[in-house]
């Protein structure tokens, strides 16, 4: 859909069907109230709603293009935040990773019949910088330099190297995407939010030697810290991530808001910015959609395809993760995924 002007974008979302939270929460009254506003970084309402208006299949449909957008466009964004994270008001507890040293999640699938791999990621944005599309390549390079300097001080298991996309061949890049390590360049909703502007400048990935600790640099969010490994040892995955993040937190300042927690360009990622997931094989539950949806609903789980957001499942393998990230602590978010997956596996076994 070719439309960029605010009036065209509004016409599109107000006259077409969409299940997005943007469509649900942008009334004509609100549109009129917000249409002349802009932030000190230069973000307008058009920038915030462009992706959702052009992509009617969006689930959320809005992006904050700088930290101030959350205040200037609060009347639209706050109801979307509450709806997505299932909270009554926009409020977030203090960061709490739990007692990480004593953490002991029992493996959910010792025999590895159901869980193929486990991953936890936490998004972060640099303090004082805007988000796409209100972001220049000069700023991307500046942020890249700050984070690479911090990552290069990591030691032991976390020691690794930064691989810039600017000097990586297309084949190397594709291999990392296929291995579920690297971010893709074909997410249509992110593209229309300016997520790939200036590609590949300032983008890259940090990888430890075992490829179990990964940092995405300048995808949509400035940073994604990721820990992943085969099997179902959530304690090992989560501990590694938090330990790494705590090292980086000592050297880099992140964007934070008392009510919204850690900031992200997508309202769905505010608060903890944490998504804990397993790749779970569940052929029986795939045939019993009603039961599957009921368990996901009760445990606030989200299902994605095997290649991430906006992709399909294959051979009954789904990416199962916590949906909520704001209004609960990091530890509680991880537990939501853990408890939900425990019930999914039990039910899958009963159906066999
Ligand atoms: P994000 O998790 O950062 O929101 P995506 O949904 O796009 O982003 O997923 C990014 C990549 O991580 C994809 O390649 C996806 O398949 C991979 N991934 C997610 N969860 C797991 C997991 N438990 N095991 C292996 N790969 C995973
Ligand atoms: C969408 O609106 O569908 C995308 N722009 C991103 C949604 C975020 N995904 C999610 O459910 N956490």
Predicted ipTM of the assembly: 0.96
Q: What are phi and psi of 322, to 5 degrees?
A: -70, 135
Euclidean distance between CA atoms 102 and 71, whole angstroms: 39
Q: Which residues lie with the beta carbon below 6 Å from any ligand 2 atom?
A: 51, 58-61, 189, 266, 268, 309
Between the alpha carbon of residue 145 and those of residues 13, 148, 196, 274, the distances in Å are 39, 5, 19, 24
**Pocket flag, ligand 1, residue 278 (CB < 6 Å):** yes
pTM of the model: 0.97
Is there an atom of ligand 1 within 6 Å of 180 CB? yes
Pocket of ligand 2, candidates 47, 189, 193: which has the most ligand atoms within 8 Å of its Cβ, to mutate? 189
Q: Which of 161-175, 195-209, 290-304, 307-321 has the lowest mean pLDDT?
A: 307-321
Q: Is the pLDDT of residue 3 over 80?
A: no
Helix (H), strand (E), coil (C) string for the chain = CCCCCHHHHHHHHHHCCCCCHHHHHCCHHHHHHHCCCECCCCCEHHHHHHHHHHCCCCCCCCCCCCCCHHHHCHHHHHHHHHHHHCCCCCCCCCCCCCCHHHCCCCCCCCCCCCEEEEEEEEEECECCCCCCCCCCHHHHHHHHHHHHHHHCCCCHHHCEEEEEHHHCCHHHHHHHHHCCCCCCCCCHHHHCCCCCCCCCCCCEEEEECCCCEEEEECCCCCEEEEEEEECCCHHHHHHHHHHHHHHHHCCCCECEECCCEECCCCHHHCECCEEEEEEEECHHHHHCHHHHHHHHHHCCEEEEECCECCCCCECCEEEEEECCCCCCCHHHHHHHHHHHHHHHHHHHHHHC
Q: What is the mean pLDDT of residues 274-290?
A: 98
Averaged pLDDT for residues 85-96: 98
Q: Whose CA is nearest to atom 6 of ligand 2?
A: 60
- Confidence at residue 310, expressed as pLDDT on a 0 to 100 scale: 81
Check residue 6 and give its pLDDT.
97
**Cβ of 330 less than 6 Å from ligand 1:** no
Q: What is the pLDDT of residues 7-60, one digit of tens each?
A: 999 999 999 999 999 999 999 999 999 999 999 999 999 999 999 999 999 999
Which residue of 266, 296, 323 sits with most ligand 2 atoms within 8 Å of its CB, as the best mutation to test the pocket? 266
- pLDDT of amino acid 2: 47
The 10 Å Cβ neighbour count of residue 210 is 12
- Please give the backbone phi and psi of residue 12, each rounded to the nearest 5 degrees, phi first: -60, -50
pLDDT score, position 1: 44
Closest by CA position to 90, among listed 253, 221, 267, 266: 267
Task: Kindly state the average pLDDT of the residues 281-285.
Answer: 98
CA of 39 to the centre of ligand 2 (A): 23
Which structure tokens are listed for 268? Answer: 């769905």
Phi, psi dihedrals of residue 335, rounded to the nearest 5°: -65, -35
Shortest-distance Cα residue to atom 9 of ligand 2: 268
* pLDDT the model gives residue 335: 98
Interval between CA 320 and ligand 2 midpoint (Å): 15
CA 243 to chain centre: 20
Lowest-pLDDT range, 90-99, 307-316, 342-351? 307-316
Average pLDDT, stretch 139-143? 98
The dihedrals phi and psi of 277, each to the nearest 5 degrees, come to -140, 155
327 CA to centre of ligand 1 in angstroms: 23
**Apex 86 CA angle, 12 and 326, nearest 5:** 100
Ligand 1 in reach of 203 Cβ (< 6 A): no
CA of 121 to the centre of ligand 2 (A): 16
Helix 330-351 / helix 289-298 crossing angle, nearest 10 deg: 160
The residue whose C-alpha atom lies closest to atom 12 belonging to ligand 2 is 268
69 lines ligand 1 (CB under 6 A): no
């Amino acid at each position: 859909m070719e439309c960029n002007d605010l009036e065209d974008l509004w016409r599109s979302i107000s006259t077409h069907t969409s299940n997005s939270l943007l469509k649900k929460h942008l009334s004509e009254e609100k549109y009129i109230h917000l249409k002349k506003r802009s932030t000190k970084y230069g973000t307008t309402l058009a920038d915030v709603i462009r992706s959702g208006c052009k992509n009617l299949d969006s689930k959320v449909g809005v992006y904050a293009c700088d930290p101030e957008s959350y205040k200037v466009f609060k009347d639209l964004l706050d109801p979307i935040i509450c709806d997505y994270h299932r909270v009554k008001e926009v409020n977030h507890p203090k960061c709490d990773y739990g007692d990480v040293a004593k953490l002991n999640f029992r493996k959910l699938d010792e025999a590895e019949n159901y869980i193929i791999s486990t991953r936890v990621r936490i998004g972060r944005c640099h303090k004082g910088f805007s988000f796409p599309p209100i972001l220049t390549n000069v700023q991307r390079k500046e942020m890249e330099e700050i984070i690479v300097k911090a990552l290069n001080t990591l030691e032991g298991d976390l020691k690794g190297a930064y691989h810039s996309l600017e000097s990586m061949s297309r084949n190397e890049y594709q291999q990392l995407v296929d291995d579920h390590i690297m971010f893709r360049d074909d997410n249509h909703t992110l593209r229309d939010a300016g997520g790939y502007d200036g590609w590949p400048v300032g983008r890259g990935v940090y990888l430890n030697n075992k490829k179990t600790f990964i940092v995405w640099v300048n995808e949509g969010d400035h940073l994604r810290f990721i820990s992943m490994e085969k099997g179902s040892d959530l304690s090992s995955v989560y501990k590694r991530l938090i330990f790494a993040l705590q090292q980086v937190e000592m050297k880099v300042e992140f964007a934070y808001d008392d009510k919204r927690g850690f900031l992200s360009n997508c309202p769905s990622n505010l608060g903890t910015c944490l998504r804990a997931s397993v790749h779970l094989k569940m052929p029986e539950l795939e045939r019993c959609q009603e039961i599957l949806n009921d368990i996901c609903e009760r445990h606030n789980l989200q299902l994605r395809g095997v290649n991430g957001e906006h992709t399909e499942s294959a051979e009954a393998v789904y990416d199962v993760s916590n949906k909520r990230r704001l209004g609960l602590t990091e530890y509680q978010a991880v537990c939501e995924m853990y408890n939900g997956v425990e019930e999914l596996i039990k039910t899958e076994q009963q159906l066999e």
